[in-house]
Structure 1
Amino acid sequence: MSMNSRGNKSLYKPRQPDFEQKYCTQSYVVGEDDLLYGKILEIYQYKADKLEDTVTVLPDGCFEMVFYFFADHIESHLVIGQSEIEYVPIKECMSGFGIRFIPGWLGHVHNAPLTRTVDIRENLKYISCSEVFKDFDRFYREIVSTGSFERRIEACRSYFGTTERLEDSPSELARQACLYLMNRNGNSSVGELERYLGYSSRYIRKIFDEYVGFSPKTLNEIIRFQYSFYHYYTNPGRSLSDLACEFGYYDLSHMNRSYLKLAKQLPKHLYRKVFLERTV
Structure 2
Amino acid sequence: MKIIETKNKIIDAKPFQLFSHDHRIIDYQEELLDWSREHLKTEALFYQFQVKEEMVVTYLPDACVNLIFEIKGEEVTSKMLGILTEAKETIFEPGICYFGVKPYTNVGLRCKEKDQSCLVNQLVSLDSQFPAANELIQKFKLVKDFQQRKDLILADHRSIFLDENRRSVLSEYLSVLLCTNTTAISMEKVGDETGYSRRYTQQIFRREIGISPKKYSRIIRFQNAIKAVFAKTDMTLAKLACQLGYYDQAHLIHEFQLFTQQSPKNLMESVTLSK
TM-score greater than 0.5 by the shorter chain: yes
Give the letter for the 1:159 counterpart: D
Counterpart in the other structure of 2:68: 66
* 1:193-232 to 2 correspondences below 5 Å: 193-232=190-229
Q: Is the 8 A contact 2:45 2:103 kept in 1?
A: yes
Change (3 A) 1:240 1:46: same
* 1:21-170 to 2 correspondences below 5 Å: 21=22, 22-30=24-32, 34-36=33-35, 38-48=41-51, 50-69=52-71, 73-91=75-93, 94-102=96-104, 105-111=105-111, 114-115=114-115, 124-133=121-130, 135-160=132-157
For 1:140 and 1:261, the matched residues in 2 are separated by 36
| 1:238 aligned to which of 232, 235, 240 | 235
For 1:79 and 1:199, the matched residues in 2 are separated by 30
Give the letter for the 1:218 counterpart: K
For 1:25 and 1:15, the matched residues in 2 are separated by 17
For 1:231 and 1:185, the matched residues in 2 are separated by 12
Change (3 A) 1:252 1:91: same
Counterpart in the other structure of 1:276: 273
Question: Which sections of structure 2, spanning at least 5 residues, go unmatched?
Answer: 5-11
Q: CA deviation at 1:41?
A: 3.7
Q: CA deviation at 1:213?
A: 1.9
Q: CA deviation at 1:29?
A: 3.1
Q: CA deviation at 1:239?
A: 2.7
Give the letter for the 1:225 counterpart: F
For 1:164 and 1:88, the matched residues in 2 are separated by 27
Q: Is the 8 A contact 1:129 1:136 kept in 2?
A: yes
The DSSP-based 3-state class of the residue aligned with 2:80 is strand
Describe the superposition over 1:141-174 as per-residue Cα deviations: whole angstroms up to 9, x where unpaired: 443321210111122333347998958x653322
CA root-mean-square deviation: 3.2
For 2:79 and 2:90, the matched residues in 1 are separated by 15
Question: Which sections of structure 1, spanning at least 5 residues, go unmatched?
Answer: 1-6
Structure 1 vs Structure 2: percent identity of aligned residues?
Answer: 22
Counterpart in the other structure of 1:15: 16
Of structures 1 and 2, the one scoring higher in RCO (CA 8 A, sep 6+) is 1
Aligned residues: 262
TM-score, normalised with respect to structure 1? 0.79
Give the letter for the 1:172 counterpart: V
